Structure 1
Amino acid sequence: MRVIAGDFGGRNLKTLGGKTTRPTGDKVRAAMFSMIGPFFDGGQVLDLYAGSGGLAIEAVSRGISNAILVERDYQAQAVILDNIKMTKEANKFTLLKMDAHRALQSMSERFDLVFLDPPYAQASIVEDIEQIVSLNLLADQAIIVCETDTSIDLPSEIANLKVIKEKNYGISKVTIYERGSNE
């Protein structure tokens, strides 16, 4: 895996062996960012199930100012810290070493971009989005990007956020939510 574009483009990312994380492959990551950007002028990103940290690092590489990464797995945390170190801009990243729901409860930031790729996708994504909205953690023009297996069908609307794009890439499905136009 590598960073696709931006300031860190071409740099290699470490990944965790085994089945505790499922890193988003280069092609899917490139497609995601084509759907939502591909570049940004500042803002904050939340990667709630960070795994290797690749999505948040890619977002910062493409212009997001700051990233909060949440990961409870100790081995994945070490990989994330190595990947952050590779950027030589560690001050742009915060790693929260805890469960996603506990992390959300501790936050007061408002995010422009949120990545959700939990291990148990459908139930967790709906709960996560509902919690993020109820805690008022989204900026006005926020986008939530969900990555799931293609067999998962997420609702077209969750907590006043609507699906604006959905596309399959091999075994992965990317679903993008944003606030409805009347919000």
Structure 2
Amino acid sequence: MSAHERIVLQDADIARALTRISHEILESNRGADNLVLLGIPTRGVTLATRIAQLIETFSGVAVETGALDVTMYRDDLHKNPTRAPRPTSIPDGGINGKTVVLIDDVLFSGRSIRAALDALQDIGRPSAVRLATLIDRGHRELPIRPDFVGKNLPSARDERVNVRLTETDGKDEVTIES
């Protein structure tokens, strides 16, 4: 952690936020039937797995999960260097006629989610698409609003929000870096 970085959520805060999101998804969907969770790599996939485990614990129903890489669907590839695309993995039952919950770690401009919606069109036709995000920073450039939010975290445009998860980073925390 750098000198200009402060912790805003710790492991217990993240666990509470994911528990709340899981309950809200179950309530909104009236149970876990016909539900698919698709995480946006990298940390969205980890969050989708955790939420699926919580939903199964609460409902007794296993929820299908997958990963939806949006790299090649982004409209800002020319401006931002990007990572190599990751594999997209859709559950064997597909997404047609199902409620798909897209899961990402941080919602900022909305461009990743717009790209995810475009990517979904190439995969199938869900009955509904919802959005869950651990952190909503604001600063939207597109008319996209999450259905399920772990924490609204107002931040300046030039600040960076870092989500660290045990599976990829060795610990659970969210920091703001100025």
Higher RCO (Cα < 8 Å, 6 or more apart): 2
Report which of the two structures shows the higher radius of gyration computed on alpha carbons: 2
Using the size of structure 2 for normalisation, the TM-score is: 0.46
TM-score, length of structure 1 as denominator length:
0.45
